Chain A
Amino acid sequence: MSRIIKSLSLAAGVALSFSALSGVAAFAADDVKVGILLPLSGSVAPIGINNRRGHELAIDEINAAGGIKSLGGAKLVMVDGDTQGKTNVGISEVEKLGEQGVVAIMGAYQSNVTFPTTQIAERLRIPYIDPVAIADSITEGRGFKYTFKVSPKASWYARDQIQFLITASTAAGEPVKSVVLMHEDTLFGNASSDGQEHFAKENGLEILANISYPKDTPDMTSTVAQIKEMNPDAVVLVSYINDAVLITKTMRELGVDIPIVGTSAGHIDPAYIANLGDAANYTFTVGEWNPDIKKDGAAEIAARFLEKFGIPMNGHAAETYMSTMVLREALEKAGSSDREAVAAALRDTKICGDANLLPYDCIEFAADGQSPQANLVILQIIDGTYKTVWPASIAAADAIWPVPGWAAR
């Protein structure tokens, strides 16, 4: 019996290696292989699969437009590495992608997977573009030469939120002086809140309270009543979707007329609008991107995305799309699919203006690999849709500030 199993598994192994070989042989000689390292199975797979769509759309467009011209029209080919959302799997996938001859790796959505996998890529000297993972530590104090981070740093979410608060309220003639910070009490909420506290203090705002709350509680009335009593100029929230909806509902019940500034997550979930209807209007949230930003071509790309995949393009997809374009630029410049040449070209890459789909002027990489101009956008829900209201250079609408009271809506 055991001999049968042994010979069977041997046969299977041989068959597998043949199919792997034939998979390699299927690429034309001048194709350029690009490693896409994302969680494509496991609990975060839906997000990983959506990130992959941005790469896919960009690669389709690049190939349809004639591929990489400086490489004689070489086509880009995606090679998937499935991290399953796990650090150890991610590490072995990087090694596998390296052996498969990818020119660069893009990934890996999760910061906790991106951090160690960039380390392996550094050792193997494979250029690694990080489109989405935000942890500050990915580019801070590591001195990596092969990591290129397109995404903003995690701490910049708070920086941009506070900056927006001050700009918008000053423009309306009533500068914000005091805020209440409120966050759900897991790692996401606590970490975000630390950043908000730091930037609020740095900008001279008075923090009336920094409140943490359990996100699955059925009643927030007493906490919201307390905020009403403190009467800050704005309340800055870090919430998942359930609690975001509950807090807004409770604020409406208690007639709390204080602007809400959310931190992506729950407040940027379309379910927020679906569940609150009109009550969702005027809520602000920080976000990565929005299809309405004032960049030529952004709306068209979003439309092509919607047509191809049947779902709206979100910030992650915009970041992965743009990162792929960054890689194209570097390949064109390098005129070679040699990793060292591509890494050198990435260090000198600069994409500005409308060619950069992301909400800031130029993508380029500082010595630490971070894109220094990267920033966030502030969206406001106006008439049931998210509108970009900050920064002014790419805003699609003016922020409605002060926010009308519940009684006046």
Chain B
Amino acid sequence: MADVYLQAVLSGLMIGGVYALVAVGLTLIFGVMDIINFAHGEFLMFGMYAAVFGSILLGIDPYISALICLPVFFAIGWATHAGLIRHVVGKGHAIQILLTLGLSLTMQALAQFLFSADFQSLNLSYSAATFDLSGARVSYPRLAAFLISMALCAGLWVFLQRTDTGKALRACAEEHEGSLAVGIDLDRMYKIAFGLGIACVAVAGVVMTPFFYVAPVVGPGFTLVAFVVVVLGGLGNIPGAVFGGLVIGVIESLAALLMPAPSLKHLAVYVLFVLVLLFRPQGLFGRA
């Protein structure tokens, strides 16, 4: 029986790594721009479609797609900000939610129109490759998704700590007017933040394609998980989002074992969500 728990913790950690990358994108956008991106999961979905069709039509391996998608989706995020999001920065939350929610629905409908409602999945030679870790099976594609996600989170962290642009982004997150006063181009920072956030979530989608399916409706589930992760870790807090992602992954996985039925595993996650909101609304890592 111990093996089953080890298996649950390991697979929870690995999917949690992907949740973390999704959430990091969301929390970065929120931290810098004060906007909650309800269309976050849809960018993940488009990342997955890019990898699936890249593999089926052009024979590009998903891990190479990940490299290509990073700049491409950064540009898409940049353009989305320039075309749409820019108009609601600093406006009321209601209009921001309406815009991103509308974008989410539009993207779902567009995906259904372009790719049909059928789900697609890749069947790669290494899809089922596993190795044994003291009684538990570790899947190589899941491990790869975990490692790539963690590497990107770490890379983003270093970028924010060490580079001038990163420091400017953090300054924006701290204090908008102050940043303006010292000559930071806020609009450019917003575009970078949105581009980075979208690039993160798209790559999270890409690295899942070797073991997960894509369909036009796949996004909202991930957006919801990312909200919980972000709240758990503290809004705008990147290490918090990474930690939160891993915690949620493991809780989901263990809850599937411990709850009376796996269909209740989401319940455990949302109960935790409510508890955090009640007792530590600033999140585990947030400042009060």
Give A residues with C-beta under 8 Å from B: 185, 211-214, 216-223, 225-226, 228-229, 241-242, 245-246, 249, 252-255, 271, 275-277, 279
Say yes or no: A211 contacts B7, CB within 8 Å: no
Chain B residue contacts of A225, Cβ below 8 A: 3-4, 7-8, 11, 136
Task: Give the nearest-CB partner of B218 in chain A.
Answer: A216
Chain A residue contacts of B102, Cβ below 8 A: none
Say yes or no: A214 contacts B265, CB within 8 Å: yes
Say yes or no: A226 contacts B4, CB within 8 Å: yes
Q: Residue among B137, B221, B222 with the most chain A CB within 10 A?
A: B137
- The B184-228 residues at the A interface (CB cut-off 8 A) are 208, 211-213, 215, 217-218, 221-222
Chain B residue contacts of A218, Cβ below 8 A: 15, 18, 208, 212, 221-222
Mask: chain B, 1-42; 1 = CB below 8 Å from A; 0 = not: 101100110011001001000000000000000000000000
State A226–B118 Cα separation when bound (angstroms).
30
Give B residues with C-beta under 8 Å from A: 1, 3-4, 7-8, 11-12, 15, 18, 118-121, 123, 127-128, 130, 136-137, 139, 208, 211-213, 215, 217-218, 221-222, 249, 252-254, 256-257, 261-263, 265-266
Chain B residue contacts of A228, Cβ below 8 A: 4
Say yes or no: A222 contacts B253, CB within 8 Å: yes
Q: Is the interface of A mostly helix, strand, loop or mixed?
A: helix
Q: What are 19 A-to-B residue pairs whose CB atoms are below 8 Å?
A: A211-B262, A214-B265, A216-B221, A218-B18, A218-B221, A219-B12, A219-B15, A221-B253, A222-B12, A223-B257, A225-B136, A229-B4, A241-B119, A246-B212, A246-B213, A249-B128, A249-B211, A253-B137, A254-B7
State A219–B123 Cα separation when bound (angstroms).
17
Task: Give the nearest-CB partner of B221 in chain A.
Answer: A216
Say yes or no: A222 contacts B8, CB within 8 Å: yes
Chain A residue contacts of B215, Cβ below 8 A: 242
State A223–B8 Cα separation when bound (angstroms).
8
State A275–B209 Cα separation when bound (angstroms).
12
Say yes or no: B137 contacts A217, CB within 8 Å: no
| A381 CB to nearest chain B CB (Å) | 14
Task: Give the nearest-CB partner of B249 in chain A.
Answer: A219
Contact partner, B119, options A226, A242, A277, Cβ 8 Å: A242
Q: Residue among A212, A226, A229, A279 with the most chain B CB within 10 A?
A: A226
Say yes or no: B261 contacts A222, CB within 8 Å: no
Say yes or no: A222 contacts B254, CB within 8 Å: yes
Q: Residue among A212, A213, A223, A225 with the most chain B CB within 10 A?
A: A225
| B41 CB to nearest chain A CB (Å) | 12
Contact partner, A213, options B7, B119, B137, B261, Cβ 8 Å: B261
Contact partner, B263, options A212, A246, A275, Cβ 8 Å: A212
- Check A242/B123 contact, CB under 8 A, given A225-B4, A253-B130, A254-B130: no
Task: Give the nearest-CB partner of A406 in chain B.
Answer: B128
Chain A residue contacts of B4, Cβ below 8 A: 222, 225-226, 228-229
Contact partner, B262, options A213, A254, A255, A275, Cβ 8 Å: A213
Task: Give the nearest-CB partner of B10 in chain A.
Answer: A221
Say yes or no: A219 contacts B128, CB within 8 Å: no
Say yes or no: B1 contacts A271, CB within 8 Å: no
| A317 CB to nearest chain B CB (Å) | 20
- Check A214/B254 contact, CB under 8 A, given A225-B7, A242-B119, A271-B119: no
Closest 3 pairs between A and B when the two form their complex, measured CB to CB: A221-B11, A222-B8, A185-B263
| B127 CB to nearest chain A CB (Å) | 7
Chain B residue contacts of A249, Cβ below 8 A: 127-128, 211
State A299–B246 Cα separation when bound (angstroms).
54
Chain A residue contacts of B123, Cβ below 8 A: 275-277, 279
| B220 CB to nearest chain A CB (Å) | 9
Q: Residue among A212, A217, A221, A222 with the most chain B CB within 10 A?
A: A222
Say yes or no: A219 contacts B252, CB within 8 Å: yes
Say yes or no: B15 contacts A212, CB within 8 Å: no
State A216–B221 Cα separation when bound (angstroms).
8
Task: Give the nearest-CB partner of B222 in chain A.
Answer: A218
- Check A211/B261 contact, CB under 8 A, given A246-B213, A255-B137: yes
Say yes or no: A221 contacts B212, CB within 8 Å: no
Contact partner, A221, options B8, B217, B218, Cβ 8 Å: B8
| A219 CB to nearest chain B CB (Å) | 4
Say yes or no: B257 contacts A222, CB within 8 Å: yes
State A367–B136 Cα separation when bound (angstroms).
57
Task: Give the nearest-CB partner of B210 in chain A.
Answer: A249
| A228 CB to nearest chain B CB (Å) | 8
| A188 CB to nearest chain B CB (Å) | 13
| A184 CB to nearest chain B CB (Å) | 8
- Check A253/B119 contact, CB under 8 A, given A212-B261, A222-B253, A245-B213: no
Chain B residue contacts of A211, Cβ below 8 A: 261-262
State A254–B7 Cα separation when bound (angstroms).
9
Say yes or no: A245 contacts B121, CB within 8 Å: yes
- Give 6 A-B pairs besides A214-B265, A229-B4 with Cβ atoms closer than 8 angstroms: A217-B221, A219-B249, A220-B262, A225-B11, A253-B128, A271-B118
Task: Give the nearest-CB partner of B250 in chain A.
Answer: A222
| A189 CB to nearest chain B CB (Å) | 9
State A397–B121 Cα separation when bound (angstroms).
30
| A187 CB to nearest chain B CB (Å) | 13
| A255 CB to nearest chain B CB (Å) | 6
Say yes or no: B137 contacts A254, CB within 8 Å: yes
Chain B residue contacts of A220, Cβ below 8 A: 256, 262
State A34–B4 Cα separation when bound (angstroms).
59
| A275 CB to nearest chain B CB (Å) | 5
Chain B residue contacts of A226, Cβ below 8 A: 4, 256-257
